[in-house]
Structure 1
């Protein structure tokens, strides 16, 4: 029985096609079954013969039916993998319906890395893009440009990084690329490390890049307030180490100056390079931003990685790395024929945006906005949650870690979902350990006007403090 919606959005032939296709996939119509003739089917359904023929022909083109001349349309063999997959999808949809039956609509998504539109100077950015297109240099829109990136932008970045982050470099050492993961992939081709140490827990995105390059990953504990444990790193026979020293991700620790010096010295003595990811250095609220470790390097062992995702927009896909001279030479030899992966127009627009002072104005505004949201969330968590909870990762960045002594991450996630809040487990940031009783709550994507309501809902969801 095919029930048609005469006034539905879908054309009638699509409804007939989907009904028969689903019966074949589910196994209700088996191989060799002969369908009703188009004329008979049309009379039965009260539609034109052409409508039925369209549906049958679509099924034939996709391999569900076979048209045997003079005999009719027959069901063809469909692999069990397809029917099993369809059955699994239906079960999964049913599971999602059941699991979400007690949850209300998501009002606030506290996913780490989200940015809210209120912080983005859209009108000024649009003007910068227009200027880039209309300027004499706009003619560069129709060429590939330099493989390292826009020269004027790299010059501005070199000046900015020296002033704001203490990075020592020339514009020639800066390589612009479409995101930290892409640049890390290029970097790994320069280093060709057999073994690379990463923080545990740490940024999962870099772990996937390492895996895809066939590199042996050596997780080293970094869950404390001082970042990666140097005593556990020493003697690991690695060729590269990935760290987030200014704001360890995701736990929020800051590597002390002595540890930074010791790590650089260790890199020289044990012959490895340091990948310093300075992913959110502008978001520091209780003290001046921590200078980059690269500025301490006397041996050419530190590669500095930076990104505009948190301060401007993740969708612009613009990041950069500062290579020590020896690696810059390798890059020149290996990648001189590669084209840059970031739109030349966007690079020019960003340079105009910076030269006109909008970049640093935007940073100040975004930092202020983020601090206000940080303070609202911190105050709500500290005053509202009981002794069974611990909040870490405060005073910097755009996220906090909430740890419970009584609830698992899954239980906290479910409770928050019922209050209209999406929070996330720390599990994926561990290569070896577990984050089963901790969640990450990002506030970058929440509007300042909504921060109090989001914080209140989060506390109400968690403060019960005892398992039901």
Structure 2
């Protein structure tokens, strides 16, 4: 049996389970815990370390969620096989940059009692009073420059705060000069594709993607290669076979199917990109919201070759109407941005950028995010409880544990169209998933999407109760 001897400090600010998690993670990356080594049981390790079972269980859960370990029924946890590289480069070496020269969403027009649309947020808990005060502050005469175009890369102070926020919450390593603020995910992607088009002839992307991304890709002359989806993320063999110059992925919470790209596959994907000098586009659209385990570190945080382009949005944190997104560009693409090798000048409203900056500076943004994580965690659990209560065990729930949506396969003999129509007849909106497939053969059979962010807990319970009665009819 493998022996683990971490040095745990109960007086440290960092929780015991995080200390243990980091120790085991480090030992595995360094190769001191070999692949297929069996980890001690929770009970045995807790006794050895003289701690309760809770921190050990939490550490193991996080390792399992990130793919560092695999679970074998009735046997235990085993170390996964990792592709590890040289991680000795410093942040300054890796990210040195030249100095710059100066779709299918919830309906808001139809009267539907229970709308489980993707993309909805809880507007009732938005900090209206604080935000109104901040916007009013931006519109004072002394801030009259807010009415002009502003910095076409995004307000410098806001970029600095976003860089700090991303490092603290997602492990992203970048300088403020690498960040370009955009007016929503699709605008940021459109800008990125313009910067990449000289280098990319073949784009590999997940076999199912957001419909807006799919539509945008079709506007460019990229040859598209679909990547099969497995329980732990994209097929790495499909990546190798694609001969692609760039790969688009949602590794922390695949959209729409919800799986997480395992650490082993992350290392292999990064190694492939470094060897081929290909780009990886990481869309971390809802990485802030993970329930039960610590948020999965971003793929960009593991990148030592500057091949990952990180894409994020404030649509889940604040609301889609703000149209605030951001790209973290590697130096080569950043140089093209500064040389104006694209068709954009101002990407996002300086007024909203300034208001967000003030929101972050005051500490209110961090407090708002803590509140929303707690709120969405509770709604997520209410949804799962309702599905467990009302649906038989034969029904399958996919993609739980992260984000603001899950998928449901009722297994009642209805096809996708019948499911959507039957639900609407009783005042419940659910959404098809076939629209996200790059081609019909990649569709999941009879699967609907349930977004829960915009519904109250009682609405979730009532809506699922109606669905269960409706889907129970053959």
**TM-score tier after normalising by the smaller chain length:** 0.7 to 0.9
Q: Label 1:463 to 1:301 Cα distance change in 2 as closer, same or farther (>3 A).
A: same
2:429 counterpart of 1:422 = yes
Mapped partners of 1:460, 1:236: distance in 2 = 45
Aligned CA distance change for structure 1 residues 105 and 207 (closer, same or farther; 3 Å): closer
Select which of 191, 203, 210 maps to 1:196.
Answer: 203
> Contact between 2:191 and 2:344, CA under 8 Å: does it hold in 1?
no
TM-score normalised by length of structure 1: 0.74
SS of 1:281's equivalent in the other structure is coil
The partner residue of 1:402 within 394, 398, 408 is 408
The structure with the larger Rg is: 1
2:444 maps to which residue?
A: 435
SS in 2 for 1:249: coil
CA distance in structure 1 between the aligned counterparts of 2:263 and 2:141, rounded to whole angstroms = 45
Counterpart selection for 2:114 from 70, 89, 108: 108
Query: Among residues 208, 219, 231, which one is paired with 1:212 in the alignment?
Result: 219
2:315 pairs with 1:306 = no
Higher helix share: 1
* 2:168 counterpart of 1:163: yes
Q: Does 1:446 align with 2:455?
A: yes
CA offset digits 1:251-285 (Å, max 9, x no partner): 11111112111101101112310000000011111
Does residue 370 in structure 1 map to residue 376 in structure 2?
yes
**Residue 384 in structure 1 maps to residue 393 in structure 2:** no
Counterparts of 2:392 and 2:276 in 1: how far apart (Å)? Answer: 46
Q: Which has the higher mean CA deviation after the structures are superposed, 124-133 or 275-284?
A: 124-133
User: Compared with structure 1, are the counterparts of its residues 417 and 369 closer, same or farther at alpha carbon in structure 2 (3 Å cutoff)?
Assistant: same
In 2, the alpha carbon distance for the partners of 1:320 and 1:461 equals 42
Per-residue CA deviations over 1:154-210 (Å, capped at 9, x if unaligned) read 000001111111000000000001111111111111111211111012222212111
Matched residue count: 360
- CA separation of 1:337 and 1:135: change in aligned 2, threshold 3 A: farther
Backbone CA RMSD of aligned residues: 1.7
SS in 2 for 1:334: coil
Which residue, out of 352, 355, 376, partners 2:361? 355
Measure how far apart 1:418 and its partner are: 2.2
Question: 3-state DSSP class of the match of 1:312?
Answer: coil
Q: Are positions 1:340 and 2:351 aligned together? A: no
The CA distance in 1 between the partners of 2:378 and 2:209, in whole Å, is 26
Calculate the TM-score normalised by the size of structure 2: 0.73
Equivalence map 1:190-269=2 (5 Å): 190-192=195-197, 193-222=200-229, 224-269=230-275
Alignment of 1:24-63 (within 5 A): none
* Cα distance in 2 between the residues matched to 1:337 and 1:428: 30
Give the whole-Å Cα distance in 2 for the aligned partners of 1:336 and 1:424.
35
Change (3 A) 1:127 1:220: same
Instruction: Give the match's secondary structure for 2:454.
Output: coil
Among residues 147, 153, 157, which one is paired with 1:148 in the alignment?
Answer: 153
Query: Per-residue CA shift, 1:200-227, capped at 9, x if unaligned?
Result: 12222212111112222111112x3211
